[in-house]
Amino acid sequence: DVVDIRQFSKTGMFTFDPGFLATAACESKITFIDGDQGQLYYRGYPIEQLAEHSDYMETCYLLINGELPSEAQKKEFTRIVMRHTMVHDQMTRFFQGFRRDAHPMAMMVGVTGALSAFYQDSLDITNPRHREVTMYRLISKIPTIAAMCYRYSKGLPFNYPKNDLSYTANFMHMMFATPCEEYKPNPVLVKALDRIFMLHADHEQNASTSTVRLAGSSGANPFACIAAGIACLWGPSHGGANEAVLKMLDEIGSIDNVPAFMEGVKNKTHKLMGFGHRVYKNMDPRANIMRETCYEVLKELGLENDPKLKLAMALEKIALEDPYFIERKLYPNVDFYSGIVLTALNIPVSMFTVVFALARTVGWISHWNEMISDPGMKIGRPRQLYTGSPRRDYVPVEQRA
């Protein structure tokens, strides 16, 4: 049931809904989540069908434009995206201001925000052409910036983009190519990473997307809004979850320690990371696809007996049969398995959330564009329930106890 409370504000009434458990802040045509059925649709297409038949470039086109592209449209879209992958040379100096041990997400927030200083020619958000160019620039340059964060933190020279590769293979090239040998990304691993990008491309009004919308509602420039989204994504309850899953698996160490760990979960000493979701109360459809991808990747690499995978499977089995989790409708989410896949792809734990940010950029910018294109857009301005001190008079400092 939906109650449109806009008329209430005229009578001075408002709702108190901490954490937005029951409040829609906007209308959107981009993504639909059916939390009870465990279904996710991008522009009406089920995520399972997209994961099986589509790819990330096509998904980007779909999220931005609302329709799947024709063959010619897809080719042209990919060509434009790949043509914008370079960043301004001055940006390499910008990186040098960071410590080498800075978290890559800290660099991502700073560098993405700084894009507005490099691309001042497209900051008129009322101009649809400027918005379009900005969307292309973001989708194109984010993998380059993400790979630069990684290379910088390792003390490695930056790799130039290789635009005859696919979007995802090019990201792997920028991450891992060395001058000593020709880098040939393994197609099975490229497909797995591309699928990770697709599964993370959008998820309607999650915390980071809502942050981008709220920041954008003031008319702030889009690069700054995306930087705000990246900052929000960094938290362990959101994009930092797959990093937290791997840390948790390391802490548990072996299957023998699972029962004691689970006792701690029930006593609320710690959470089972990678479990639970605000909207999915049946299952996260992305988790099933990610589990399958995990098997495919580990098989390709001959790592079927990977101890982390075995431990994750044991944890999942125990949790799914445990009344504590059943009563609270807690199921594995996409991040329960994505960390294992990313590790197998040689992506270090500190880069996990960066990969998420890369993939989600298209979702953020699609929502930003949808909001800005809406003639009825209003600045986001949540209300509050004030619980502080009542009115009191100022006391000069010498008279205070």
Contact positions vs ligand ACO (CB under 6 A):
237-239, 241, 265, 271-278, 328, 330, 333-335
Beta-bridge partner residues of 178: 181
Check if 173 is active-site: no
CB of 370 to ligand ACO, least distance (A): 21
Nearest to 108 by CA among 240, 247, 248, 203: 240
* Closer residue to ligand ACO (CB): 328 or 383: 328
* Closer residue to ligand ACO (CB): 36 or 76: 36
Place of tokens 């988790």: 287
* Closer residue to ligand ACO (CB): 272 or 365: 272
CB of 241 to ligand ACO, least distance (A): 3
* Closer residue to ligand ACO (CB): 145 or 359: 359
CB of 293 to ligand ACO, least distance (A): 15
CB of 64 to ligand ACO, least distance (A): 21
CB of 157 to ligand ACO, least distance (A): 33
Check if 335 is active-site: yes
* Closer residue to ligand ACO (CB): 133 or 258: 258
CB of 333 to ligand ACO, least distance (A): 4
Q: Which of 200, 203, 277, 367 is catalytic?
A: 277
Buried/exposed code over 195-214 (b: 16+ C-beta within 10 A; e: otherwise): bbbbbbbbbbbbbbbbbbbb
CB of 336 to ligand ACO, least distance (A): 7
Q: Which of 173, 202, 335, 367 is catalytic?
A: 335
Dihedral-angle region of residue 316 (phi above 0 means left; psi in -120 to 50 means alpha; beta otherwise): alpha
Catalytic residue positions, numbered: 277, 335
